[in-house]
Amino acid sequence: MPEGDAIFRTARTLHRALAGRTVTRFESALPSLTRVHEDTPITGRTVERVEAAGKHVLMRFSGGLALRTHMRMNGSWHIYRPGERWQRPRRDMRVFVATDAFEAVAFNVPVAEWLDERGEARQRDLRAMGPDLLGESFDEEDALRRVRERGDEAIADVLLNQRVAAGIGNVYKSEVLFICRVDPFTAARDVADERVRAALQTARRLLRANVTTLGGITTYLGFERGRGGGAEHRRHVYGRARKPCRRCGTPIRVRAQGPHARLTYWCPTCQT
C-alpha cells in the first residue's frame, strides 16, 4: 500500500493538471461509476480540485460530486497529454478523466466510488480515519488517545492503522520506530506517552519532508548523493535485512508481523 506522502504527491499532481478544467470525456470499467455518469454526466463538469485525505484521493467536480479512490497495493493514477501512449495496458484502466490539456487514468484501482456531500459525510472509512499526518493541522492528543485504545496490539501494527493516524505505511512504520528506539513488537500500552508522541512527531516530520524537499521515501540523510544504489541507501532499516545497523553495527532483522504479515525491519540492539 502506498505511503501517505505518495498519495499526497499523486493528489497534488492530479490537481495541478486538472483543476479548473472542464471534463471532455469520462470512461470507467466499473459499472457503479458508469451508471452515475449515464444518469448525471461527468462530461461538462469542472474539476474543482483534487486532494488527499490520508490514503484516499478525492477528485471534486462541480455540482457537489466527488470521486473517491483508494490505491490499496497495486493501484495508481497516471497523467498523460491527449494522444500520448499509456504506460499500462488498456485492460488495466479503471477510470479515465480527460480535459483539453491532460488525461488522468487510474490503473488497477480497487476502490472507486462517487460521493455527494451527504455520502461523503457518511462514508465509513473517511469518518473513521484518524488525524491526518499530512494535514495542515494534526491533533496529536486525539492520535495518542487512539493509540491507547489499542493497548493490547503491537505498536508497529497500531501505527499502521489508518484509524489511529492517517498516512503511515509499512516503510515509515519501521523507520520511525527505529529512529525513536522503540521495539516494534512491544504492546502499545507499554510504550510511554513521550515515546508515542515522538513517533507521531517524527512520522509527521518525515512525511512532510518527503512531499516538499526530499522526494521519495528518504529517512536516512547520511546517504551519499550521486552514488546510485537501491532505496535502502536512503533508509535506516527498511530493506536492509542482515546489513549492519547504522548506529551500532548489529545486523538488521526482518520478520512478518500483524494480521496481514507485513514485513517489519528493526535493530535488536537499538530498539529494546
At 159 the three-state DSSP class reads: helix
Catalytic residue among 3, 103, 153, 175: 3
Active site residue 55: yes
Handedness of CA 235, 238, 239, 245 (dihedral sign): positive
**Residue 47's CB: how many other CB atoms inside 10 A?**
24
**CB of 235 closer than 8 Å to CB of 176:** no
Active site residue 3: yes
Distances in whole angstroms, Cα of residue 67 to Cα of each of 43, 59, 117, 254: 14, 5, 11, 38
Q: Which of 46, 165, 167 has its CA nearest to residue 97? A: 46
Distances in whole angstroms, Cα of residue 186 to Cα of each of 70, 123, 145, 192: 30, 33, 17, 11
Beta-bridge partners for 244: 251
**Residue 197's CB: how many other CB atoms inside 10 A?**
16
Catalytic residue among 48, 55, 131, 175: 55
Dist CA 122 CA 202 (whole Å): 31
Q: What is the CA radius of gyration of the chain?
A: 20
Active site residue 173: no
Catalytic residue among 2, 131, 175, 184: 2
Dist CA 237 CA 148 (whole Å): 26
Residue 78 in grid coordinates = 497516471
Cell numbers 507521531: residue: 200
Ramachandran angles phi, psi of 201, nearest 5°:
-65, -40
Where b means 16+ CB within 10 Å and e means fewer, 73-110 reads: eebbbbeeeeeeeeeeeeebbbbbbbbeebbbbbbebe
Residues carrying an active site annotation: 2-3, 55
